[in-house]
């Protein structure tokens, strides 16, 4: 009699414990859902994030003035109107530079007539060594027209800064040096804006598709 609702009192804590369990489960589900949404936002939508690419593209390229192998002056205005693939390197680079230029030459050949619709531009980041004549002889190795450019230290610094290219002279034993440098190829459209990049590790078909889009 003093305890009119014994079952209820007995049940109440049980029910509230069950309620807590349900709540906890619900909260965990909510956490999982939020985490899932977060992960999806981070990774799921990555392929469709062109806004960032556009911002990046606008920061690449710009004014420069360099000397071609025939002694003529080439600026960003000279190149306007024709898309170009621009690569930074040095003639004494025994590995990545010749590989990259030869690959571009091969891709151009695969494109047939379309391959004539873009320029291949090679800029030396070793102006102390690479004179216009050195660059002419070097680019001639690749059997396709390549516009080889060099300039004064200040002129190279200008274009390197415009393209956000990294380069650094590194001494090796015996008083010689090598140069660390950005190995990507910048694909610039007719207006001189970055359209895409060719990565050294990507396969030839991927690069080919990018070049075909560049000249389209």
Partner 1 sequence: MFRSFCAGSALAGALLLGACDAAPETPTSRIAVSQPWSRETAPGQDAGGAFMTITNSGTADDRLIGGSSSVVGEVQVHNVTLTDGVMRMRQLPDGLAIPAGETVTLAPGGYHLMLMRLTQPIERTGPVPLTLEFERAGSIEVTLAVQSAGAEQPGEVGND
Q: Is 183 in the site for partner 1 (CB under 8 A)?
A: yes
72: tokens are 């003529």
Rounded CA separation 41/54 (Å): 19
* Six-digit token string for 91: 């003639």
Calpha distance 188→118 (Å, rounded): 9
DSSP 100-143: HHHHHHHHHHHTGGGGGGSEEEEEES-TTT--HHHHHHHHGGGS
Decide if residue 56 touches partner 1 (CB under 8 A): no
- Using the rule CB under 8 A, is 92 a contact of partner 1? yes
Binding mask 141-170 for partner 1 (x = CB under 8 A): xx-----------------------x---x
Question: For partner 1, which stretch binds (CB under 8 A), given 29-37, 49-57, 107-115, 194-202?
Answer: 194-202
Burial (0-12, 13-18, 19+ Cβ within 10 Å), 8: exposed
Assess 101 for contact with partner 1 (CB under 8 A).
Answer: yes
Nearer to partner 1 (CB atom), residue 110 or residue 190:
110
Shortest Å distance, C-beta 96 to partner 1: 4
Total residues found in the chain within this entry: 216
Q: Please state at what angle helix 96-110 crosses helix 204-215, rounded to 10 degrees.
A: 60
The distance of closest approach from Cβ of residue 202 to partner 1 in the complex, given in angstroms and rounded to an integer, is: 11
124: three-class secondary structure by DSSP: strand
Under DSSP, the state recorded for 63 is -
Q: How far is the CB of 129 from partner 1 (least distance, A)?
A: 9
Selected range binding partner 1 among 4-12, 21-29, 73-81, 175-183, rule: CB under 8 A: 175-183
State the residues that interact with partner 1 by CB under 8 A. Answer: 91-96, 98-103, 105, 133-134, 137-138, 140-142, 166, 170, 172-174, 176, 178, 180-184, 197, 199-201
């Amino acid at each position: 009699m003093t305890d009119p609702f014994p079952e209820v009192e007995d049940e109440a804590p049980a029910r509230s414990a069950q309620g807590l369990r349900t709540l906890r489960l619900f909260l965990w589900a909510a956490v999982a859902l939020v985490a899932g949404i977060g992960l999806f936002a981070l990774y799921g939508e990555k392929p469709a994030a062109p806004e960032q690419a556009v911002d990046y593209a606008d920061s690449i390229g710009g004014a420069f003035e360099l000397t071609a192998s025939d002694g003529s002056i080439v600026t960003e205005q000279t190149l306007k109107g024709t898309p170009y693939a621009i690569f930074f390197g040095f003639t004494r680079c025994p590995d990545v530079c010749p590989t990259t230029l030869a690959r571009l030459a091969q891709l151009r050949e695969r494109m047939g007539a379309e391959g004539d619709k873009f320029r291949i531009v090679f800029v030396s980041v070793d102006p102390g060594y690479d004179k216009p004549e050195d660059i002419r002889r070097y680019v001639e190795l690749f059997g396709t027209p390549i516009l080889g450019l060099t300039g004064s230290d200040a002129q190279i610094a200008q274009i390197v800064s415009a393209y956000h290219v990294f380069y650094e002279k590194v001494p090796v034993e015996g008083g010689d040096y090598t140069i660390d440098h950005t190995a990507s190829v910048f694909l610039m459209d007719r207006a001189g804006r970055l359209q895409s990049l060719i990565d050294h590790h990507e396969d030839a078909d991927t690069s080919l598709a990018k070049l075909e889009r560049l000249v389209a």
